[in-house]
Structure 1
Amino acid sequence: MMFLTSLRAIVVAVVLITPSVFGAEPALLARTPYLSAPANFTLPFYLFNGHILIDGVVNGREGKLMFDTGTEFPFFLNNHYLPLGKDKKIGEGQTASGQKMVLYQQHQPINKIDLAGQMQLKNVPAVLHTDWRFIEQAYTPYFLGSIGHGFNRNYLFVIDYEAQTLAFHAFNQDKALLASVVDPARVVATFEFTPTGVDGKMPEVVLHIGDHNIKASFDTGNIGSLQLTEAMKNALLTSGELKLQLREFTYGLREPHMSANLQGLYEGSTALAGACNLTFKIGKTNQIGLGYHFLKNYISVWDYQNSRLTLLKP
Protein backbone atom coordinates (compact mmCIF):
# COMPACT_ATOMS: atom_id res chain seq x y z
CA MET A 1 0.00 0.00 0.00
CA MET A 2 1.28 3.48 -0.86
CA PHE A 3 1.21 6.22 1.78
CA LEU A 4 1.16 9.98 1.29
CA THR A 5 2.99 10.18 4.60
CA SER A 6 4.05 7.81 7.32
CA LEU A 7 1.44 6.17 9.52
CA ARG A 8 2.88 7.80 12.63
CA ALA A 9 2.52 11.22 11.03
CA ILE A 10 -1.04 10.39 10.06
CA VAL A 11 -1.86 9.44 13.64
CA VAL A 12 -0.64 12.83 14.82
CA ALA A 13 -2.42 14.60 11.98
CA VAL A 14 -5.84 13.46 13.10
CA VAL A 15 -5.44 15.33 16.35
CA LEU A 16 -3.53 18.46 15.60
CA ILE A 17 -5.46 20.29 12.90
CA THR A 18 -5.13 23.94 13.88
CA PRO A 19 -8.67 25.35 14.15
CA SER A 20 -7.65 29.00 14.18
CA VAL A 21 -6.78 28.98 10.49
CA PHE A 22 -10.42 28.31 9.64
CA GLY A 23 -11.76 31.43 11.35
CA ALA A 24 -14.78 31.70 13.63
CA GLU A 25 -17.48 30.12 11.47
CA PRO A 26 -16.52 26.46 12.06
CA ALA A 27 -16.66 27.12 15.81
CA LEU A 28 -20.26 28.24 15.40
CA LEU A 29 -21.04 25.16 13.33
CA ALA A 30 -19.53 23.01 16.05
CA ARG A 31 -22.33 24.13 18.36
CA THR A 32 -25.11 22.85 16.09
CA PRO A 33 -27.38 20.78 18.39
CA TYR A 34 -27.71 17.04 17.76
CA LEU A 35 -30.27 16.05 20.37
CA SER A 36 -32.63 13.93 18.26
CA ALA A 37 -30.75 10.75 19.24
CA PRO A 38 -32.05 8.37 21.93
CA ALA A 39 -31.42 9.41 25.54
CA ASN A 40 -29.20 6.37 26.15
CA PHE A 41 -27.37 4.21 23.65
CA THR A 42 -24.15 2.21 23.39
CA LEU A 43 -21.85 1.99 20.38
CA PRO A 44 -19.41 -0.90 19.98
CA PHE A 45 -16.08 0.08 18.47
CA TYR A 46 -12.90 -1.30 16.95
CA LEU A 47 -9.41 -0.36 18.10
CA PHE A 48 -6.93 0.43 15.35
CA ASN A 49 -3.52 1.80 16.37
CA GLY A 50 -5.14 3.08 19.55
CA HIS A 51 -7.90 4.94 17.75
CA ILE A 52 -11.63 4.34 18.12
CA LEU A 53 -13.42 3.36 14.90
CA ILE A 54 -17.19 2.94 14.74
CA ASP A 55 -19.26 1.27 12.03
CA GLY A 56 -21.36 3.85 10.26
CA VAL A 57 -23.56 4.51 7.27
CA VAL A 58 -23.87 7.97 5.69
CA ASN A 59 -26.62 8.33 3.09
CA GLY A 60 -26.52 4.58 2.48
CA ARG A 61 -22.75 4.30 2.11
CA GLU A 62 -21.11 2.04 4.71
CA GLY A 63 -17.76 2.65 6.33
CA LYS A 64 -15.94 3.62 9.51
CA LEU A 65 -16.08 6.82 11.59
CA MET A 66 -13.31 7.81 13.98
CA PHE A 67 -14.38 8.98 17.45
CA ASP A 68 -12.08 11.94 18.09
CA THR A 69 -12.82 14.16 21.08
CA GLY A 70 -10.19 16.60 19.78
CA THR A 71 -12.27 17.45 16.68
CA GLU A 72 -14.67 20.31 17.39
CA PHE A 73 -17.26 19.47 14.73
CA PRO A 74 -20.17 17.08 15.35
CA PHE A 75 -19.37 15.27 12.10
CA PHE A 76 -16.39 15.96 9.86
CA LEU A 77 -16.97 13.86 6.75
CA ASN A 78 -14.71 12.57 3.99
CA ASN A 79 -15.59 14.01 0.58
CA HIS A 80 -13.12 11.70 -1.14
CA TYR A 81 -15.28 8.69 -0.25
CA LEU A 82 -18.69 10.34 0.09
CA PRO A 83 -20.39 12.31 -2.72
CA LEU A 84 -20.80 15.66 -0.96
CA GLY A 85 -21.48 19.06 -2.49
CA LYS A 86 -18.79 21.71 -2.19
CA ASP A 87 -21.44 24.44 -2.03
CA LYS A 88 -19.56 26.67 0.38
CA LYS A 89 -15.87 26.87 1.06
CA ILE A 90 -15.37 27.38 4.80
CA GLY A 91 -11.59 27.70 4.97
CA GLU A 92 -8.18 26.17 4.50
CA GLY A 93 -5.61 24.81 6.87
CA GLN A 94 -2.85 22.32 7.38
CA THR A 95 -2.43 19.32 9.63
CA ALA A 96 0.50 19.00 12.00
CA SER A 97 2.09 16.50 9.61
CA GLY A 98 1.77 18.80 6.60
CA GLN A 99 -1.34 17.71 4.70
CA LYS A 100 -3.38 20.58 3.30
CA MET A 101 -7.05 20.56 4.26
CA VAL A 102 -9.84 22.52 2.59
CA LEU A 103 -13.16 22.61 4.43
CA TYR A 104 -16.48 22.70 2.60
CA GLN A 105 -20.12 22.74 3.57
CA GLN A 106 -22.97 21.18 1.62
CA HIS A 107 -26.20 23.23 1.66
CA GLN A 108 -28.43 20.15 1.57
CA PRO A 109 -28.68 18.29 4.90
CA ILE A 110 -27.33 14.76 5.17
CA ASN A 111 -30.38 12.52 4.81
CA LYS A 112 -29.30 9.92 7.35
CA ILE A 113 -26.33 9.03 9.53
CA ASP A 114 -26.42 5.62 11.19
CA LEU A 115 -24.01 4.77 14.00
CA ALA A 116 -23.31 1.05 14.50
CA GLY A 117 -26.96 0.23 13.86
CA GLN A 118 -27.76 1.59 17.35
CA MET A 119 -28.96 5.08 16.55
CA GLN A 120 -29.82 7.21 13.53
CA LEU A 121 -29.85 10.91 12.82
CA LYS A 122 -31.93 12.28 9.94
CA ASN A 123 -31.68 15.52 8.00
CA VAL A 124 -28.40 16.49 9.66
CA PRO A 125 -27.61 20.14 8.78
CA ALA A 126 -24.41 22.16 8.52
CA VAL A 127 -22.06 19.18 8.12
CA LEU A 128 -18.49 20.07 7.20
CA HIS A 129 -16.33 17.87 5.02
CA THR A 130 -12.81 17.64 3.63
CA ASP A 131 -10.60 15.25 1.68
CA TRP A 132 -9.48 12.54 4.11
CA ARG A 133 -7.75 10.30 1.56
CA PHE A 134 -4.49 10.32 3.53
CA ILE A 135 -6.40 8.64 6.38
CA GLU A 136 -7.99 6.19 3.93
CA GLN A 137 -4.58 4.99 2.84
CA ALA A 138 -3.53 4.09 6.37
CA TYR A 139 -6.81 2.97 7.95
CA THR A 140 -9.54 1.98 5.51
CA PRO A 141 -10.65 3.04 2.01
CA TYR A 142 -14.15 3.24 3.52
CA PHE A 143 -13.31 6.07 5.90
CA LEU A 144 -16.45 8.17 6.41
CA GLY A 145 -14.88 10.86 8.58
CA SER A 146 -14.94 11.66 12.28
CA ILE A 147 -17.37 12.20 15.15
CA GLY A 148 -16.29 15.02 17.42
CA HIS A 149 -17.00 17.33 20.31
CA GLY A 150 -20.01 19.03 18.73
CA PHE A 151 -21.85 15.71 19.00
CA ASN A 152 -20.53 14.13 22.19
CA ARG A 153 -20.69 17.30 24.35
CA ASN A 154 -24.46 16.70 24.60
CA TYR A 155 -23.88 13.49 26.55
CA LEU A 156 -22.20 12.07 29.57
CA PHE A 157 -20.24 9.35 27.80
CA VAL A 158 -18.24 6.38 29.03
CA ILE A 159 -15.27 4.83 27.21
CA ASP A 160 -14.40 1.23 28.03
CA TYR A 161 -11.35 0.19 26.02
CA GLU A 162 -11.46 -3.36 27.34
CA ALA A 163 -15.08 -4.00 26.36
CA GLN A 164 -14.68 -1.70 23.33
CA THR A 165 -17.87 0.20 23.99
CA LEU A 166 -18.94 3.84 24.08
CA ALA A 167 -22.01 4.41 26.28
CA PHE A 168 -23.88 7.71 25.85
CA HIS A 169 -26.31 9.28 28.33
CA ALA A 170 -28.03 12.52 27.33
CA PHE A 171 -27.87 15.32 29.89
CA ASN A 172 -31.54 16.24 29.47
CA GLN A 173 -32.83 13.38 31.63
CA ASP A 174 -33.09 12.35 35.28
CA LYS A 175 -30.00 13.50 37.21
CA ALA A 176 -30.12 10.47 39.49
CA LEU A 177 -29.79 8.22 36.46
CA LEU A 178 -26.77 10.17 35.27
CA ALA A 179 -25.18 10.05 38.73
CA SER A 180 -25.60 6.27 38.82
CA VAL A 181 -23.19 5.93 35.90
CA VAL A 182 -20.31 6.65 38.29
CA ASP A 183 -19.92 3.92 40.92
CA PRO A 184 -18.19 5.61 43.92
CA ALA A 185 -16.53 2.31 44.91
CA ARG A 186 -14.68 2.20 41.58
CA VAL A 187 -13.52 5.81 41.36
CA VAL A 188 -9.75 6.19 41.03
CA ALA A 189 -9.63 9.93 40.33
CA THR A 190 -11.97 12.77 39.46
CA PHE A 191 -10.59 15.68 37.44
CA GLU A 192 -12.29 19.06 37.52
CA PHE A 193 -10.87 20.14 34.18
CA THR A 194 -10.45 23.41 32.34
CA PRO A 195 -12.18 23.29 28.93
CA THR A 196 -9.65 24.52 26.35
CA GLY A 197 -9.60 24.65 22.57
CA VAL A 198 -12.50 25.49 20.26
CA ASP A 199 -15.80 25.30 22.17
CA GLY A 200 -13.98 23.75 25.16
CA LYS A 201 -13.26 20.49 23.35
CA MET A 202 -9.96 19.74 25.13
CA PRO A 203 -10.11 18.87 28.86
CA GLU A 204 -6.97 20.16 30.56
CA VAL A 205 -5.65 19.56 34.08
CA VAL A 206 -2.41 19.99 36.01
CA LEU A 207 -0.83 16.77 37.24
CA HIS A 208 2.22 16.18 39.42
CA ILE A 209 5.30 14.08 38.87
CA GLY A 210 7.76 14.19 41.74
CA ASP A 211 8.18 17.85 42.69
CA HIS A 212 7.16 19.01 39.23
CA ASN A 213 3.89 20.03 37.59
CA ILE A 214 2.92 19.04 34.09
CA LYS A 215 -0.02 20.21 31.99
CA ALA A 216 -2.13 17.29 30.79
CA SER A 217 -4.85 17.20 28.14
CA PHE A 218 -7.21 14.33 27.35
CA ASP A 219 -7.95 13.46 23.74
CA THR A 220 -9.03 10.18 22.13
CA GLY A 221 -7.45 11.31 18.88
CA ASN A 222 -4.00 11.58 20.46
CA ILE A 223 -2.91 8.10 21.52
CA GLY A 224 -0.14 9.57 23.68
CA SER A 225 2.40 12.38 23.46
CA LEU A 226 4.96 14.04 25.71
CA GLN A 227 6.78 17.35 25.43
CA LEU A 228 9.38 18.38 28.00
CA THR A 229 11.88 21.13 28.43
CA GLU A 230 15.50 20.00 28.41
CA ALA A 231 15.74 20.65 32.16
CA MET A 232 12.59 18.62 32.93
CA LYS A 233 13.76 15.78 30.73
CA ASN A 234 17.08 15.58 32.56
CA ALA A 235 15.41 15.74 35.98
CA LEU A 236 12.97 12.92 35.18
CA LEU A 237 15.67 10.77 33.62
CA THR A 238 17.74 11.19 36.79
CA SER A 239 14.81 10.27 39.04
CA GLY A 240 13.99 7.25 36.88
CA GLU A 241 10.44 8.42 36.17
CA LEU A 242 11.22 8.91 32.48
CA LYS A 243 12.71 6.37 30.13
CA LEU A 244 13.51 7.18 26.52
CA GLN A 245 14.00 4.63 23.81
CA LEU A 246 14.81 5.00 20.13
CA ARG A 247 12.39 2.70 18.33
CA GLU A 248 12.95 1.51 14.81
CA PHE A 249 9.35 0.59 14.05
CA THR A 250 6.00 2.18 14.78
CA TYR A 251 2.51 0.88 14.02
CA GLY A 252 3.61 -1.56 11.36
CA LEU A 253 6.08 0.72 9.60
CA ARG A 254 9.83 1.09 9.78
CA GLU A 255 10.20 4.61 11.09
CA PRO A 256 12.82 5.41 13.73
CA HIS A 257 11.52 7.73 16.44
CA MET A 258 12.07 8.57 20.10
CA SER A 259 9.53 6.97 22.41
CA ALA A 260 8.93 7.84 26.08
CA ASN A 261 7.65 5.84 29.04
CA LEU A 262 6.53 7.98 31.98
CA GLN A 263 5.85 6.77 35.52
CA GLY A 264 5.00 8.61 38.73
CA LEU A 265 2.02 10.73 37.65
CA TYR A 266 -0.18 11.95 40.51
CA GLU A 267 -3.49 13.77 40.83
CA GLY A 268 -3.28 15.22 44.33
CA SER A 269 -2.22 12.26 46.45
CA THR A 270 -3.63 9.68 44.03
CA ALA A 271 -1.11 7.69 42.02
CA LEU A 272 -2.07 7.26 38.38
CA ALA A 273 -1.13 4.65 35.83
CA GLY A 274 1.99 5.22 33.81
CA ALA A 275 1.87 6.10 30.15
CA CYS A 276 4.02 4.20 27.68
CA ASN A 277 5.05 4.52 24.05
CA LEU A 278 4.47 8.27 23.99
CA THR A 279 5.72 10.29 21.05
CA PHE A 280 8.41 12.53 22.52
CA LYS A 281 9.92 15.90 21.74
CA ILE A 282 11.77 18.72 23.45
CA GLY A 283 9.87 22.01 23.73
CA LYS A 284 9.50 25.21 25.70
CA THR A 285 6.79 23.86 28.02
CA ASN A 286 6.01 20.61 29.83
CA GLN A 287 2.84 18.94 28.63
CA ILE A 288 1.46 15.46 28.14
CA GLY A 289 -1.31 14.26 25.85
CA LEU A 290 -3.23 11.48 27.56
CA GLY A 291 -4.98 9.26 25.06
CA TYR A 292 -5.19 5.53 24.49
CA HIS A 293 -1.89 4.58 26.15
CA PHE A 294 -3.14 6.10 29.41
CA LEU A 295 -6.93 5.77 29.19
CA LYS A 296 -6.79 2.04 28.37
CA ASN A 297 -5.97 1.45 32.06
CA TYR A 298 -9.35 2.78 33.14
CA ILE A 299 -13.00 3.21 32.29
CA SER A 300 -13.31 6.95 31.70
CA VAL A 301 -16.47 9.02 32.21
CA TRP A 302 -16.51 12.32 30.29
CA ASP A 303 -18.84 15.08 31.51
CA TYR A 304 -18.39 18.29 29.53
CA GLN A 305 -21.48 19.89 31.07
CA ASN A 306 -19.84 19.93 34.50
CA SER A 307 -16.20 20.01 33.27
CA ARG A 308 -15.47 16.71 34.98
CA LEU A 309 -13.64 13.58 33.89
CA THR A 310 -13.72 10.52 36.13
CA LEU A 311 -11.46 7.48 35.99
CA LEU A 312 -12.94 4.18 37.18
CA LYS A 313 -11.36 0.84 37.93
CA PRO A 314 -12.18 -1.59 35.09
Structure 2
Amino acid sequence: MSLTRRQFALATGLLPLAPVLRAQETYPSRPITLVVPFSAGSVVDLQARVIARVLAARLGQPIVIDNKVGVSGSIGAEFVSRAPPDGYTLLLGTQGTQGTNSALYKTIRYDPVKDFVAIHGLSGNPNVLVVNPRLGVGSVSELVELAKKNPGKLNFGSGGNGTGGHLCLELLQTRTGARFTHVPYKATSAALVDLVSGNVDAMFDFLQTAAPHIRSGKLRALAVTRGQRMPMLPEVPTVAEAGYPGVESLTWGGFFAPAKTPEHIVKRLSVETSEALRSQEVKNTLESAGGFIIDMPHAEFQVYVAKEAAKWTEVLRTAGVTLE
Protein backbone atom coordinates (compact mmCIF):
# COMPACT_ATOMS: atom_id res chain seq x y z
CA MET A 1 0.00 0.00 0.00
CA SER A 2 1.48 3.38 -1.02
CA LEU A 3 1.59 6.32 1.40
CA THR A 4 0.23 9.76 0.59
CA ARG A 5 2.69 12.69 0.83
CA ARG A 6 1.09 13.78 4.11
CA GLN A 7 1.30 10.26 5.55
CA PHE A 8 4.93 10.03 4.51
CA ALA A 9 5.69 13.41 6.09
CA LEU A 10 3.98 12.36 9.33
CA ALA A 11 5.81 9.07 9.37
CA THR A 12 9.22 10.65 8.84
CA GLY A 13 8.69 13.73 11.02
CA LEU A 14 9.09 16.14 8.12
CA LEU A 15 5.64 17.77 8.32
CA PRO A 16 6.73 20.60 10.66
CA LEU A 17 9.38 21.57 8.12
CA ALA A 18 6.93 21.97 5.25
CA PRO A 19 6.09 25.67 5.88
CA VAL A 20 9.80 26.49 6.17
CA LEU A 21 10.62 24.67 2.93
CA ARG A 22 7.76 26.42 1.13
CA ALA A 23 8.99 29.82 2.41
CA GLN A 24 12.48 29.09 1.14
CA GLU A 25 11.12 28.11 -2.24
CA THR A 26 8.81 31.10 -2.68
CA TYR A 27 10.77 34.13 -1.40
CA PRO A 28 10.04 36.74 -2.50
CA SER A 29 6.32 36.31 -3.05
CA ARG A 30 5.34 39.99 -2.78
CA PRO A 31 6.90 43.45 -3.27
CA ILE A 32 9.97 44.42 -1.24
CA THR A 33 10.37 47.85 0.37
CA LEU A 34 13.83 49.38 0.16
CA VAL A 35 14.24 52.20 2.64
CA VAL A 36 16.61 54.89 1.36
CA PRO A 37 17.42 57.15 4.33
CA PHE A 38 18.18 60.19 2.17
CA SER A 39 16.08 62.47 0.00
CA ALA A 40 14.77 61.63 -3.45
CA GLY A 41 17.22 62.82 -6.08
CA SER A 42 20.28 62.49 -3.84
CA VAL A 43 23.29 60.50 -5.05
CA VAL A 44 22.38 57.62 -2.73
CA ASP A 45 18.77 57.66 -3.93
CA LEU A 46 19.74 57.64 -7.62
CA GLN A 47 22.11 54.72 -7.12
CA ALA A 48 19.49 52.85 -5.10
CA ARG A 49 16.86 53.20 -7.82
CA VAL A 50 19.11 51.88 -10.56
CA ILE A 51 20.29 48.88 -8.52
CA ALA A 52 16.75 48.18 -7.26
CA ARG A 53 15.36 48.16 -10.81
CA VAL A 54 17.89 45.58 -11.98
CA LEU A 55 17.58 43.50 -8.80
CA ALA A 56 13.77 43.49 -8.98
CA ALA A 57 13.91 41.97 -12.44
CA ARG A 58 16.09 39.16 -11.10
CA LEU A 59 13.88 38.52 -8.05
CA GLY A 60 10.62 38.67 -10.00
CA GLN A 61 9.03 41.14 -7.58
CA PRO A 62 8.87 44.96 -7.48
CA ILE A 63 11.18 46.83 -5.15
CA VAL A 64 9.49 49.96 -3.81
CA ILE A 65 11.73 52.85 -2.74
CA ASP A 66 10.72 54.54 0.52
CA ASN A 67 12.69 57.70 1.35
CA LYS A 68 12.78 58.15 5.13
CA VAL A 69 14.92 61.20 5.77
CA GLY A 70 16.42 62.66 8.94
CA VAL A 71 19.40 62.76 11.34
CA SER A 72 21.93 61.94 8.61
CA GLY A 73 20.01 58.82 7.59
CA SER A 74 19.39 57.49 11.09
CA ILE A 75 15.59 57.84 10.93
CA GLY A 76 15.39 55.36 8.06
CA ALA A 77 17.94 53.03 9.61
CA GLU A 78 16.07 52.90 12.92
CA PHE A 79 12.82 52.16 11.07
CA VAL A 80 14.37 49.14 9.35
CA SER A 81 16.01 47.91 12.56
CA ARG A 82 12.49 47.56 14.06
CA ALA A 83 10.85 46.00 10.98
CA PRO A 84 9.87 42.30 10.81
CA PRO A 85 12.91 40.19 9.84
CA ASP A 86 11.19 38.61 6.85
CA GLY A 87 13.19 40.03 3.94
CA TYR A 88 10.48 42.44 2.82
CA THR A 89 11.92 45.59 4.42
CA LEU A 90 15.52 46.38 3.50
CA LEU A 91 17.83 49.35 4.05
CA LEU A 92 20.36 50.95 1.79
CA GLY A 93 22.77 51.70 4.60
CA THR A 94 25.85 53.86 4.32
CA GLN A 95 29.08 54.64 6.09
CA GLY A 96 27.04 57.20 8.04
CA THR A 97 24.06 55.09 9.10
CA GLN A 98 26.12 51.99 9.89
CA GLY A 99 29.58 53.37 10.63
CA THR A 100 29.62 56.84 12.17
CA ASN A 101 26.19 58.05 13.32
CA SER A 102 26.12 55.97 16.49
CA ALA A 103 29.35 57.68 17.59
CA LEU A 104 28.31 61.16 16.39
CA TYR A 105 24.78 61.40 17.76
CA LYS A 106 23.74 60.78 21.37
CA THR A 107 20.13 60.15 20.32
CA ILE A 108 20.70 57.12 18.05
CA ARG A 109 18.41 54.28 19.17
CA TYR A 110 19.84 51.37 17.21
CA ASP A 111 23.07 49.42 17.14
CA PRO A 112 24.55 49.52 13.61
CA VAL A 113 26.01 46.03 13.96
CA LYS A 114 23.79 44.05 16.36
CA ASP A 115 20.43 45.26 15.00
CA PHE A 116 21.15 44.43 11.35
CA VAL A 117 22.44 41.74 9.07
CA ALA A 118 24.73 43.09 6.37
CA ILE A 119 23.50 41.56 3.12
CA HIS A 120 25.81 42.83 0.41
CA GLY A 121 28.24 45.68 -0.19
CA LEU A 122 27.29 47.78 -3.21
CA SER A 123 29.47 50.79 -3.86
CA GLY A 124 32.22 53.04 -2.62
CA ASN A 125 33.08 56.70 -3.16
CA PRO A 126 36.52 57.89 -2.08
CA ASN A 127 37.43 61.47 -1.32
CA VAL A 128 40.32 63.40 -2.76
CA LEU A 129 42.48 65.66 -0.60
CA VAL A 130 42.79 68.98 -2.42
CA VAL A 131 44.58 72.22 -1.59
CA ASN A 132 44.75 75.69 -3.04
CA PRO A 133 47.97 75.84 -5.13
CA ARG A 134 48.94 79.11 -3.41
CA LEU A 135 49.51 77.12 -0.21
CA GLY A 136 52.70 75.85 -1.84
CA VAL A 137 52.46 72.17 -0.84
CA GLY A 138 52.73 69.31 -3.32
CA SER A 139 52.19 66.22 -1.17
CA VAL A 140 50.34 64.95 1.88
CA SER A 141 53.54 64.86 3.90
CA GLU A 142 54.27 68.52 3.08
CA LEU A 143 50.74 69.49 4.16
CA VAL A 144 51.04 67.51 7.41
CA GLU A 145 54.44 69.01 8.22
CA LEU A 146 53.21 72.54 7.51
CA ALA A 147 50.22 71.99 9.81
CA LYS A 148 52.45 70.60 12.56
CA LYS A 149 54.70 73.62 12.37
CA ASN A 150 51.67 75.93 12.42
CA PRO A 151 49.03 74.15 14.55
CA GLY A 152 45.54 75.51 13.98
CA LYS A 153 46.65 78.12 11.44
CA LEU A 154 45.60 76.24 8.29
CA ASN A 155 41.87 76.32 7.52
CA PHE A 156 40.26 73.06 6.46
CA GLY A 157 36.84 73.32 4.82
CA SER A 158 33.99 70.82 4.75
CA GLY A 159 30.32 70.59 3.85
CA GLY A 160 29.39 70.67 7.53
CA ASN A 161 29.90 68.92 10.85
CA GLY A 162 29.58 65.17 10.50
CA THR A 163 29.89 65.11 6.71
CA GLY A 164 32.31 62.86 4.88
CA GLY A 165 34.84 65.66 4.43
CA HIS A 166 34.77 66.47 8.15
CA LEU A 167 35.18 62.80 9.08
CA CYS A 168 38.18 62.45 6.77
CA LEU A 169 39.74 65.53 8.40
CA GLU A 170 39.33 64.02 11.87
CA LEU A 171 40.86 60.78 10.62
CA LEU A 172 43.81 62.68 9.14
CA GLN A 173 44.38 64.57 12.40
CA THR A 174 44.04 61.46 14.54
CA ARG A 175 46.46 59.42 12.44
CA THR A 176 49.09 62.13 11.85
CA GLY A 177 48.96 64.45 14.86
CA ALA A 178 48.55 67.49 12.59
CA ARG A 179 46.08 70.15 13.71
CA PHE A 180 43.94 72.24 11.39
CA THR A 181 41.09 74.68 12.02
CA HIS A 182 37.88 73.08 10.79
CA VAL A 183 35.61 75.45 8.86
CA PRO A 184 32.19 73.81 8.37
CA TYR A 185 29.98 75.19 5.60
CA LYS A 186 26.29 74.59 4.96
CA ALA A 187 27.16 72.72 1.76
CA THR A 188 30.25 71.14 0.23
CA SER A 189 29.81 73.28 -2.87
CA ALA A 190 30.21 76.45 -0.79
CA ALA A 191 33.38 75.10 0.81
CA LEU A 192 34.75 74.24 -2.62
CA VAL A 193 34.13 77.78 -3.89
CA ASP A 194 36.05 79.23 -0.94
CA LEU A 195 38.88 76.75 -1.44
CA VAL A 196 39.26 77.80 -5.07
CA SER A 197 39.23 81.48 -4.05
CA GLY A 198 41.78 80.89 -1.28
CA ASN A 199 39.58 81.57 1.74
CA VAL A 200 40.35 78.07 3.04
CA ASP A 201 43.53 76.08 2.47
CA ALA A 202 42.43 72.46 2.03
CA MET A 203 39.51 70.04 2.08
CA PHE A 204 38.42 66.52 1.25
CA ASP A 205 35.90 66.40 -1.58
CA PHE A 206 34.26 63.86 -3.89
CA LEU A 207 36.13 63.22 -7.11
CA GLN A 208 33.33 64.20 -9.47
CA THR A 209 33.04 67.73 -8.07
CA ALA A 210 36.74 68.37 -7.46
CA ALA A 211 38.05 66.90 -10.73
CA PRO A 212 37.17 69.88 -13.01
CA HIS A 213 39.03 72.29 -10.71
CA ILE A 214 42.00 69.91 -10.50
CA ARG A 215 42.22 69.64 -14.29
CA SER A 216 41.99 73.42 -14.70
CA GLY A 217 44.82 73.95 -12.21
CA LYS A 218 42.66 75.85 -9.72
CA LEU A 219 43.17 73.08 -7.15
CA ARG A 220 45.99 70.64 -6.49
CA ALA A 221 45.16 67.02 -5.67
CA LEU A 222 47.41 65.37 -3.09
CA ALA A 223 45.85 61.91 -2.66
CA VAL A 224 42.68 59.85 -2.91
CA THR A 225 41.40 58.05 0.18
CA ARG A 226 40.88 54.69 -1.54
CA GLY A 227 43.37 51.81 -1.45
CA GLN A 228 43.63 51.97 -5.26
CA ARG A 229 44.00 54.83 -7.70
CA MET A 230 40.85 56.08 -9.37
CA PRO A 231 40.38 56.00 -13.17
CA MET A 232 38.96 59.53 -13.05
CA LEU A 233 42.29 60.83 -11.64
CA PRO A 234 44.87 58.14 -12.43
CA GLU A 235 47.81 60.46 -11.79
CA VAL A 236 46.80 61.12 -8.16
CA PRO A 237 48.35 58.71 -5.61
CA THR A 238 46.45 56.93 -2.87
CA VAL A 239 46.94 58.01 0.73
CA ALA A 240 48.88 54.79 1.30
CA GLU A 241 51.20 55.59 -1.60
CA ALA A 242 51.58 59.05 -0.10
CA GLY A 243 52.79 57.44 3.14
CA TYR A 244 49.56 57.46 5.19
CA PRO A 245 47.74 54.11 4.89
CA GLY A 246 45.76 54.80 8.06
CA VAL A 247 43.89 57.65 6.37
CA GLU A 248 42.02 55.42 3.91
CA SER A 249 38.28 56.12 3.93
CA LEU A 250 35.28 55.42 1.73
CA THR A 251 31.75 56.70 1.67
CA TRP A 252 30.20 53.31 1.04
CA GLY A 253 26.73 51.83 0.63
CA GLY A 254 25.19 48.39 1.00
CA PHE A 255 22.01 46.44 1.59
CA PHE A 256 20.95 45.62 5.14
CA ALA A 257 18.05 43.76 6.73
CA PRO A 258 16.81 43.56 10.33
CA ALA A 259 18.72 41.18 12.59
CA LYS A 260 17.44 37.59 12.62
CA THR A 261 16.40 37.68 8.96
CA PRO A 262 16.51 34.00 7.83
CA GLU A 263 19.80 32.91 6.36
CA HIS A 264 18.29 31.57 3.13
CA ILE A 265 16.79 35.02 2.41
CA VAL A 266 20.08 36.77 3.12
CA LYS A 267 21.95 34.38 0.83
CA ARG A 268 19.41 34.75 -1.97
CA LEU A 269 19.57 38.54 -1.78
CA SER A 270 23.36 38.53 -1.67
CA VAL A 271 23.68 36.25 -4.70
CA GLU A 272 21.14 38.17 -6.78
CA THR A 273 22.61 41.53 -5.78
CA SER A 274 26.04 40.38 -6.93
CA GLU A 275 24.56 39.50 -10.32
CA ALA A 276 22.74 42.83 -10.51
CA LEU A 277 25.98 44.69 -9.90
CA ARG A 278 27.38 43.16 -13.11
CA SER A 279 24.86 45.21 -15.08
CA GLN A 280 26.49 47.80 -17.32
CA GLU A 281 23.74 50.25 -16.37
CA VAL A 282 24.64 49.96 -12.68
CA LYS A 283 28.37 50.22 -13.38
CA ASN A 284 27.91 53.33 -15.52
CA THR A 285 25.71 55.00 -12.89
CA LEU A 286 28.23 54.45 -10.09
CA GLU A 287 31.28 55.47 -12.13
CA SER A 288 29.58 58.63 -13.41
CA ALA A 289 29.26 59.71 -9.77
CA GLY A 290 32.98 59.12 -9.17
CA GLY A 291 32.40 55.82 -7.38
CA PHE A 292 33.00 52.16 -8.00
CA ILE A 293 31.33 48.80 -7.39
CA ILE A 294 32.34 46.97 -4.22
CA ASP A 295 30.37 43.72 -4.77
CA MET A 296 31.11 42.43 -1.26
CA PRO A 297 29.21 39.24 -0.30
CA HIS A 298 27.30 38.80 2.94
CA ALA A 299 29.93 37.24 5.24
CA GLU A 300 32.72 39.56 4.13
CA PHE A 301 30.47 42.62 4.28
CA GLN A 302 29.33 41.77 7.81
CA VAL A 303 32.96 41.80 8.99
CA TYR A 304 33.71 44.99 7.05
CA VAL A 305 30.79 46.88 8.61
CA ALA A 306 31.80 45.84 12.13
CA LYS A 307 35.35 47.07 11.52
CA GLU A 308 34.08 50.37 10.09
CA ALA A 309 31.83 50.98 13.10
CA ALA A 310 34.70 50.25 15.51
CA LYS A 311 37.16 52.40 13.53
CA TRP A 312 34.96 55.49 13.39
CA THR A 313 33.86 55.16 17.01
CA GLU A 314 37.53 55.22 18.05
CA VAL A 315 38.38 58.16 15.76
CA LEU A 316 35.42 60.32 16.74
CA ARG A 317 35.75 59.66 20.46
CA THR A 318 39.47 60.44 20.31
CA ALA A 319 38.67 63.68 18.48
CA GLY A 320 35.82 64.46 20.91
CA VAL A 321 33.36 65.05 18.08
CA THR A 322 29.64 64.74 18.86
CA LEU A 323 26.50 66.23 17.32
CA GLU A 324 23.09 66.97 18.78
Larger radius of gyration: 2
Q: Same fold (TM over 0.5)?
A: no
Larger fraction in helix: 2
Q: Which has the higher contact order (CA 8 A, sep 6+)?
A: 2
Short-chain TM bin: under 0.3
Query: Which structure shows the bigger proportion of residues in strand conformation?
Result: 1
